[in-house]
Amino acid sequence: MSKSTKDRKNICVSSEEITRQQQFIEEIKEINYQREVQTGKKKLYYLATFGCQMNEHDSEKLAGMLSEMGYAETDNMNDSDLIIYNTCCVRENAELKVYGHLGPLKHLKKENPDLLIAVCGCMMQQPEVVEHIKKTYRHVDLIFGTHNLYKFPELVYSAIGSPTTIIDVWDCEGQIAEDVAIERKDGVKAWVTVMYGCNNFCSYCIVPYVRGRERSRKMDNIIEEIKTLGQQGFKEITLLGQNVNSYGKDIGDGTSFAGLIREVDKVPGIERIRFMTSHPKDLSDELIHAMRDCQKVCEHLHLPFQAGSTRILREMNRKYTKEDYLGLVSRIKENIPDITLSTDIIVGFPGETEEDFLETLDIVEKVRFDNAYTFLYSKRTGTPAAKMEEQIPDEVKKDRFQRLLATQNRISKELNDTFLGKVVEVLVEGVSKTNDKVFTGRTRGNKIVNFEGDGSLIGQLVNVRIDNVKTWSLEGSIIK
Ligand code: 5AD
Ligand code: SF4
């Protein structure tokens, strides 16, 4: 066990360190202010995020700190003074995309030598990636990882005017930084991290190597944050962690995820509670009962099963069998009859035979998920599965992937069809990107619903009658 999880007394970054970072924020703010006075133009940042909600939420922290430093956001990178890529490495595609973006930045840097280019996040936790960026993309000014995000102000300060690339990547997880500014994109829904890291080491997955061991935030800090969000008018909270079901295990005083959601359920102003991601091996009956009992906890669960064959599950180090998973789903459905389920599935894990794949299809048919995130297995250097023999040829993977997608699309549409003519409660999230008369929101079961309305509805719960059904969304009209 790492020092930071053993020694709970020191689990949080000290207030002195946070104050030190605040001083860097003030210094940079002053530099930016002087520039603004000279040029009449505020300094701008462009931030691109790849990967999961955890990364999206980390970007909200970067945005919060940037805003404190006196930067404003732009979506035009040609116009920006600071470009930052928050990266993901869970699959090879995500990494290739980042490299594809970094190359063309060279000419921007030539045109504007004061431009700062930063890359951070999961990819940077791999030494070979840092080496590659240092060699190939010399125009990058700043590289940092996932464990020292709170040091961003100090790192920006060091990078300003530095002739060399500033690199600060920690190979072991640091302490939890409370009190970092967060600039949330949305005013209705908010992510709240409850724990960091993962101890599971699924054999295909790089996350435990780049996000470190499990560290839970203190329950008091989480509840305080959610109370503030409730006062600020946020209506929906999604509790985030790589494996939220093991929340509290490292604290060792009986704190549990079920206990946490019972407390969150009491926070005034919050109407809906969601959480992700749940590992089937750790989803306790205690949690199922808490979901059933807590009025604000939505009837939706994201429960990745990854593969249907018990043999492949063993190779994946998932620690449950196909029967365990189906039994768990039955218990959930018995306790929460309206539950909608979503999942993650990997196709083409090393050694996966046609029979193994048919077991995956069998789970999809038996459980009837509302939604599935399906992935082609991607070899990640450093994980045990990367060394396994019998890697599956691309064309076999792709063929299975298409069959899986067709099955899931049919089921999603069939489940959505059952909503035709029904009235559902929708939390209105915002306006459609393509039509300013069309608004969008979600049901408690996480179904996307589009309907005509007006801006005053954002953040409200409205009743919508479903008139039309698509595979991935519902359409309807508001009823008074
Ligand atoms: N290849 C393909 N998919 C992966 N995932 C994690 N690692 C890999 C990999 N090497 C998927 C899992 C996980 C989701 C976030 O990403 O399904 O649940
Ligand atoms: Fe990766 Fe498994 Fe941890 Fe999820 S539970 S982050 S798949 S190691």
* pLDDT tens column, 127-176: 999 999 999 999 999 999 999 999 999 999 999 989 899 999 988 777 88
Give DSSP secondary structure letters for 428-447: EEEE-SS-TTEEEEE-TT--
Say which residue the tokens 């509805």 belong to: 457
Q: How far apart are the first and last CA of the chain?
A: 56
Say how many Å lie between the CA of residue 195 and the centre of ligand 1: 19
Rounded to the nearest angstrom, the distance between the alpha carbon of 75 and the centre of ligand 1 is 29
Which of these, 444, 475, 439, lies nearest to 454 by C-alpha position?
A: 439
Strand partners, 116: 82
Distance between Cα 279 and ligand 2 center (Å): 8
Count of Cβ atoms closer than 10 Å to residue 329 Cβ: 22
Distance from the alpha carbon of residue 158 to the mean position of ligand 1, in angstroms: 35
Q: What fold is seen in the domain 7-168?
A: Rossmann fold (3.40.50)
Give the helix/strand (H/E) hosting 423: strand 423-431
Cα dihedral sign for 456, 457, 459, 460? positive
Residue 294 marked ligand-binding: no
Q: Is 388 in the pocket of ligand 1 (CB under 6 A)?
A: no
- Domain 423-478 has what CATH class? mainly beta
Record the tokens describing residue 325, joined without a space.
């998973």
Give the rounded distance of the alpha carbon of 418 from its chain centre: 30
- Could you report the per-residue pLDDT of 189-199, keeping only the tens digit for each? 999 999 999 99
Tens digits of pLDDT across the chain (480 residues) = 333 344 454 578 888 888 999 999 999 999 999 989 999 999 999 999 999 999 999 999 999 999 999 999 999 999 999 999 999 999 999 999 999 999 999 999 999 989 999 999 999 999 999 999 999 999 999 999 999 999 999 999 999 989 899 999 988 777 888 878 899 988 999 999 999 999 999 999 999 999 999 999 999 999 999 999 999 999 999 999 999 999 999 998 999 999 999 999 999 999 999 999 999 999 999 999 999 999 999 999 999 999 999 999 999 999 999 999 999 999 999 999 999 999 999 999 999 999 999 999 999 999 999 999 999 999 999 999 999 999 999 999 999 999 999 999 999 999 999 999 999 999 999 998 888 899 999 999 999 999 999 889 999 999 999 999 999 999 999 997
Q: What whole-number distance in Å separates Cα of residue 373 and Cα of residue 364?
A: 12
Predicted pLDDT at 3: 34
Residues of the chain with CATH 3.40.50.12160: 7-168
| CA 202 / ligand 2 centre spacing (Å) | 6
Q: Closest-lying ligand to the alpha carbon of 378?
A: 1
Give the separation between CA 220 and CA 283, rounded to whole angstroms: 23
| 202 annotated ligand binder | yes
The contacts of residue 253 (CB under 8 Å, 6+ apart) are none
**What gap in Å lies between CA 442 and CA 290, rounded to an integer?**
22
122 is in an annotated binding site: yes
Classify 282 as helix, strand or coil: helix
Summarize pLDDT for 320-375 with one digit per residue, the tens.
Answer: 999 999 999 999 999 999 999 999 999 999 999 999 999 999 999 999 999 999 99
346 Cα distance to chain centroid: 18
Residue 262 has a pLDDT of 97
pTM value is: 0.94
- 378 backbone dihedrals φ, ψ, rounded to 5°: -125, 125
For ligand 2, the distance from its centroid to the CA atom of residue 205, given in whole angstroms, is 6
Would the annotation count 120 as a binding residue?
A: no
- Burial pattern 53-68, b for ≥16 Cβ within 10 A else e, equals ebbebbbbbbbbbbbb
CA of 346 to the centre of ligand 1 (A): 6
Q: Which ranges of 283-390 does DSSP label H, i.e. alpha helix?
A: 285-293, 310-315, 322-335, 354-367
Residue with CA closest to ligand 1 atom 9 = 378
Task: For residue 213, give the 3-state DSSP assignment.
Answer: coil
Task: Return the ligand number nearest the Cα of 280.
Answer: 2
Cis peptide before 193 (omega within 30 of 0): no
**CB neighbourhood size of 4 (10 A):** 22
Name the residue at shortest CA distance from atom 5 of ligand 2.
Answer: 200
Contact 142, 159 (CB under 8 A): yes
Kindly tell me the burial class for residue 133, based on how many C-beta atoms sit within 10 Å of its own C-beta (0-12, 13-18, 19 or more).
buried
For residue 90, give the ligand 1 atom closest to its CA: 7
Residue 438 dihedral angles phi and psi, to the nearest 5°:
-100, 130
Spatial contact of 293 and 259, defined as CB atoms under 8 Å apart: no
- Cite the residue boundaries of each domain of the chain with CATH code 2.40.50.140: 423-478
- The CA angle 196-202-208, to the nearest 5 degrees, is 30
Q: Is 298 annotated as a binding residue?
A: no
Output b/e per residue, 92-101; b: 16+ Cβ within 10 A: eebbeebeeb
How many residues comprise the chain? 480
Ligand 2: residues with CB < 6 A are: 198, 200-202, 205, 207-208, 242-243, 279
DSSP 401-423: HHHHHHHHHHHHHHHHHTTTT-E
Q: Is the C-beta atom of 304 inside 6 A of ligand 1? A: yes
User: Judging by DSSP bridges, how do beta strands 448-452 and 461-469 pair with one another?
Assistant: unpaired
Ligand 2: residue of 88, 90, 91, 200 to mutate (most ligand atoms within 8 A of CB) is 200
257-264 helix and 285-293 helix, angle to the nearest 10 degrees: 10
Q: What is the pLDDT of residue 10?
A: 53
- Residue-level pLDDT at 1: 31
Topology of the domain comprising 189-415: pyruvate-formate lyase- activating enzyme (3.80.30)
Residues of the chain with CATH 3.80.30.20: 189-415
